[in-house]
């Protein structure tokens, strides 16, 4: 089986039923489901399957609410140069491409990612690297997109090498779904491309359900860990997928056993057409309290909210929330205060 990229391909695999309303949902963002993840889907319970719900279009994606945003975390507001997001003083995002092995239906960049989406030209990438080179306060560069491990190993190696040649860049972090969604890409050539001479490289692994950690994914993670790369996990809290304590406990334990330290549990962003994925902050806090009593400290992620408008992530424990009866008041990392729908 090849990666499924159309409604027709999903229908042929028995993953959707013919429904003209799905066409609008499919047009709202690209479709991609790899054979590795498609094989994990329980076809007898499609509506509830946690893998299918993440990647298969849903007619509810056509439903939007006033608070939902095209750019929910404010990338554009913090982008001084194409491909760069400079939200915090000491680190930047570098987005060399917008292609992924799979397309998550809740993606906060859902209107940017996909085949034909913007990728940096050679001149644009040179300008982005020049920006980093010219800002000595940048200590960490986070490669994201899109998925940077979709780059050919030669191009990835050139990019890592260019960053490694900047003495003020001490850490290169790579955010990826590839080890989970397309584990065969974790080859010796790719591992060599990720190895700088000087800087530290960390790999952020996006994983939302314990069933994603099938043997091929675990083998790919083991290859990365055995090559010396520290691995951290990022999970999005998603209604009907992982918003129960048993699933989250199983996921965090599975990550730790695969040598991935749970890092962030993301509150879902205000992405257009994703209301069916969102849970309340109160629900997320209750789940975090339940995890605290059940899991080792190694398995505890930080529950965070990316404050709309480009104000950055904050942990959303009680100390960060006000008591406005009509809306939550969230304090960002810089002391600013912002209203957020309860």
Q: What is the DSSP string of 226-249?
A: HTT--EEEEEE--TTTT-SHHHHH
Question: Could you give the angle at the alpha carbon of 252 between the alpha carbons of 214 and 58, nearest 5°?
Answer: 65
Residue 170 has pLDDT above 90, yes or no: yes
> Which one from 53, 306, 332, 340 is the annotated catalytic residue?
306
**Which residues 6+ apart lie within 8 Å of 328 measured at CB?**
281, 321, 322, 339, 340, 341, 342
Greater model confidence, 226 or 330: 226
> Which of 5, 60, 82, 88 is labelled catalytic?
88
53 belongs to the catalytic site: no
Tell me which of 49, 58, 71, 104 is the catalytic residue: 104
Q: Is 188 a residue of the active site?
A: no
Say if CB 189 and CB 221 are below 8 A apart: no
Lowest mean pLDDT among 119-133, 287-301, 326-340: 326-340
Q: Residue 332, Cβ neighbours under 10 Å: how many?
A: 18
- Told to judge if 313 belongs to the known catalytic residues of this protein, a careful annotator would answer yes
Output the pLDDT for position 56.
Answer: 97
**What is the domain partition of the chain in residue ranges?**
7-340
Mean pLDDT of 156-166: 98
What is the rounded average pLDDT of the residues 316-334? 65
**Residues 216 and 178 sit within 8 Å (Cβ to Cβ):** no
Which pLDDT score is estimated for 289?
A: 87
Mean pLDDT of all residues in 100-127 = 88
Q: Mean pLDDT check: name the lowest of 28-37, 126-135, 175-184, 330-339.
A: 330-339
Q: Choosing from 264, 313, 332, 340, which is the catalytic residue? A: 313
Whether the predicted pLDDT of 292 surpasses 60: yes
pLDDT for position 159: 98
Reduced to 3 states (helix: H, G, I; strand: E, B; else coil), residue 47 is: helix
Q: Which of 79-88, 107-116, 181-190, 268-277 has the lowest mean pLDDT?
A: 107-116
For residue 257 the two structure tokens come to 């056993």
- As given in the structure block, the two tokens for residue 8 are 């027709």
164 is catalytic: no
Catalytic residue among 53, 100, 173, 211: 100
**Residue 324: what pLDDT?**
66
Is there a catalytic annotation at residue 337?
no
From the candidates 49, 147, 243, 269, which is the catalytic residue? 269
Q: Give the span between the Cα atoms of 58 and 23, in whole angstroms.
A: 10
Which region among 54-68, 111-125, 173-187 has the lowest average model confidence (pLDDT)? 111-125
Residue 320 has a pLDDT of: 40
Q: What angle do CA 275, 143, 205 make, to 5 degrees?
A: 60
Catalytic residue among 109, 218, 272, 278: 109
Residue 339 scores a pLDDT above 50: yes
- CATH assignment of 7-340, among 3.10.129.10, 3.40.50.300, 1.20.1250.20, 3.20.20.70: 3.20.20.70
Q: Compute the distance between CA of residue 194 and CA of residue 161 in angstroms, rounded to an integer.
A: 9
Residue 192 host element (H or E): helix 188-193
119 vs 178, residue with greater confidence = 178
CB 179 within 8 A of CB 208: no
Question: Band of the pLDDT at 318, cuts 50, 70, 90?
Answer: very low
pLDDT band at 329 (very low <50, low <70, confident <90, very high): confident
Task: List Cβ<8 Å contacts ≥24 apart for 242-246.
Answer: 242/50, 242/208, 242/209, 243/279, 243/283, 243/284, 243/287, 244/287, 245/287, 245/290, 245/291, 245/294
pLDDT (average), residues 83-107: 96
Is 107 marked active-site?
A: yes
Tell me what the mean pLDDT of segment 169-180 comes to.
Answer: 98
> Looking at residue 325, what is its pLDDT?
62
For the chain, percent of residues with pLDDT exceeding 70 = 95
The answer to whether residue 223 is catalytic is no
How confident is the model over 294-307, as a mean pLDDT?
96
Instruction: Tell me, yes or no, if 207 is annotated catalytic.
Output: no
- Which tokens go with 330? 């969230």
Which residue has tokens 């549990």? Answer: 265
């Amino acid at each position: 089986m090849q990666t499924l990229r159309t409604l027709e391909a999903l229908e042929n695999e028995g993953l959707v039923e013919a429904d003209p309303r799905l066409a609008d949902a499919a047009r709202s963002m690209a479709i991609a489901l790899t054979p590795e993840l498609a094989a994990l889907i329980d076809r007898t319970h499609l509506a509830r399957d946690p893998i299918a719900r993440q990647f298969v279009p849903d007619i509810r994606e056509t439903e939007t609410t006033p608070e939902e945003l095209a750019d929910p975390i404010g990338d554009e507001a913090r982008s001084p140069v194409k491909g760069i997001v400079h939200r915090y003083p000491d680190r930047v995002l570098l987005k060399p491409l917008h292609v992924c092995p799979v397309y998550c239906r809740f993606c906060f960049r859902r209107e940017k990612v996909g085949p034909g989406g913007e990728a940096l030209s050679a001149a644009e990438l040179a300008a982005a690297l020049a920006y980093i080179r010219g800002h000595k306060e940048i200590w960490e560069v986070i490669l994201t997109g899109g998925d940077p491990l979709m780059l050919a190993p030669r191009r990835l190696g050139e990019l890592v090498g260019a960053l490694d040649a900047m003495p003020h860049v001490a850490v290169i972090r790579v955010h990826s779904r590839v080890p989970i969604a397309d584990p065969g890409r974790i080859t010796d050539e790719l591992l060599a491309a990720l190895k700088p001479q000087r800087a530290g490289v960390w790999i952020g692994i996006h994983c939302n359900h314990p069933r994603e950690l099938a043997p091929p994914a675990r083998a790919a993670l083991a290859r990365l860990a055995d090559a010396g790369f520290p691995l951290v996990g990022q999970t999005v809290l998603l209604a009907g997928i992982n918003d129960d304590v048993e699933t989250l406990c199983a996921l965090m334990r599975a990550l730790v056993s695969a040598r991935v330290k749970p890092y962030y549990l993301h509150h879902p962003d205000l992405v257009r057409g994703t209301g069916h994925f969102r849970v309340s902050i109160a629900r997320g806090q209750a789940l975090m309290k339940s995890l605290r009593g059940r899991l080792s400290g190694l398995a505890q992620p930080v529950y965070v909210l990316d404050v709309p408008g480009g104000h950055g992530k904050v942990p959303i424990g009680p100390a960060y929330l006000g008591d406005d009866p009509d809306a939550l008041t969230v304090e960002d990392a810089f002391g600013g205060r912002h209203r957020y729908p309860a």
